[in-house]
Amino acid sequence: MSEVPKKIEKLWLVEKSIMAKDGSFVPIKDILYLTNKRSEVFAYLAGKKPVGLAENLNYWERFLRGLFVQTHRQYLVALDRIEGIFERFPAEPEEESLTRAEIRAKDDECEISLRGTTKRIPVTSTYGPNLKKTLGITKFHYLYPENSSDRALRLYGLIDFGWRELYKLDQNDKVAVESFKSKWDIKLFEKRRMLSYFRLYGANQINTKRVIKNLIYQLWRWIQKGIENPSDGNIRSLWYKIKGVLAQHSNILGANDVNTFYSTLQEMVEKKCLFRYKDFGFMDMNEPYRAIGAKNPEIILASEKLGHYLFIKKLADAQGVSFICLKGEPAVISMEYFSDDLKEKCGGKALTVFSISDIDPAGYSIERNLLRGLGKAHQISKVVKLVDLSIFTTEEIGFVRFPVVSYEKKGELVKALAPSTMGQVTKGRAWFEGEINDDRLLSEKDKGGGWKVVTIHGIESDAADREIIKERFLAGLGKIRNKKSVI
């Protein structure tokens, strides 16, 4: 079997089940560990009785390779369950003199704790080196003591190289900084050292994504310490630094690595929340289209379109409020910069957002994500939609609306009509039923045979009279200011 099918099979394996001796099926993802007792193998699950398995431990070690690792001749443990590590024989007195081989063997022995059980699993010197290689560490003390943050980093495949030295390092001591970098800079690692930390499990090759993760994380750590300069503002400059490392190890530079880099950076910032784009000094392309109000910075006039910039800016400047014009979905980096600027000027005051967006699923999504981005650092007390169906007459809606999605419907059966996809239809229906529910944005035609052609419509915010938008904004602003003056 070639390598690609093997990897695909391993990805699906974790979602499969194995058959127990009694004929029941046990989900692999629920197994904590397997152990061999009196020539019989048992699978242990959290909060359940052990289940007997038919094959021997060697069979399961081969079958579950990549998901489980052997730590002892009688134990096979789930990799994603490993939580902490302890000295294997803490009660024993230390020997006064040990040979180098004995010291090495002792360093390879420990006990590990698993999520889902209080039992500690032994690791012997025979299996210790392979376990360390699998976890991407050189010494077991990297796992002990381990807090929740340390564990999250380890499980994500990150190594905080030289963290003890970095903590004590004087960033103004150039000689010490250069010495530290020459020792721990991943960009300088030779192939053998790269393999020792970033080996792809089960193969003698480097795990490219893990290298990219660690390069990004190390750069962030060093920027925070002050021993590395932030980016020149261009995210692509960071990619070229990483590309140089991958090119140095020519067998790991691939055509899709640039996509891996961008998706990994996005994952680390937006999903794992390890740091922010702003921490790297990346430039916000949206900066010219926003400002903080001089009088009421906590009041924000926002539009999803750059085309509204002059209108929005003039209105916001006249009233001394903040404003932002977006170009579609708000970029996370824009929200980082804008939120920080607001925090500096608002003094902890809750935000009021006046929003201009299209009346369609995309417009509502943009507004929702803008509020979500601001809500990470601020409390939002009120949101006012300046463009909604109430500012249009039924006649106006009839000629300004445009089709969002079309589909055929017969009872509960639904089929998308090109160019709409089924995903767009699902989102469109959810938006209409949950947010709008106004028949003026819905049209139906009989097709015959019980089928109907249904179209959900939307309205662009540009179709709204700007004088009406201005009047609604000033009226809403007046209520807020009057309320504050009364208080």
Confidence (pLDDT) at 106: 60
Confidence (pLDDT) at 98: 46
Nearest CA among 386, 320, 390 for reference residue 353? 386
Q: Burial-class residue 183 by CB neighbours within 10 Å (0-12, 13-18, 19+).
A: exposed
What's the rounded Cα separation, in Å, for the pair 200 and 197? 9
Contact status, residue 456 vs residue 432, Cβ threshold 8 Å: yes
Angle between helices 466-486 and 309-319 (to 10 degrees): 20
Q: Is 132 helix (H, G, I), strand (E, B) or coil?
A: helix
Confidence (pLDDT) at 299: 96
Confidence (pLDDT) at 47: 82
Q: How many CA atoms lie within 13 A of 282 on its CB side?
A: 25
Confidence (pLDDT) at 102: 53
Bridge-based pairing state of the strands 380-385 and 351-356:
parallel
Tokens of 151: 């564990």
Angle between helices 257-266 and 208-225 (to 10 degrees): 50
Nearest CA among 291, 294, 295, 290 for reference residue 484? 295
Q: Of how many residues is the chain composed?
A: 487
User: 10-residue block means of pLDDT along the chain (487 residues)?
Assistant: 47 72 90 90 90 92 90 92 71 44 64 87 90 80 59 82 88 95 91 83 80 94 93 85 79 78 93 92 92 96 95 96 94 93 91 96 95 93 96 95 95 92 94 94 93 96 95 93 67
Nearest CA among 101, 117, 96 for reference residue 32? 117
What's the rounded Cα separation, in Å, for the pair 286 and 277? 14
* Identity at 177, one-letter amino acid code: V
Nearest 5°: phi and psi at 321? -110, 165
Domains in the chain (CATH in brackets) are 3-144 (2.40.50.1020), 163-280 (no CATH), 287-390+464-486 (3.40.50), 402-458 (no CATH)
Nearest CA among 274, 301, 277 for reference residue 289? 301
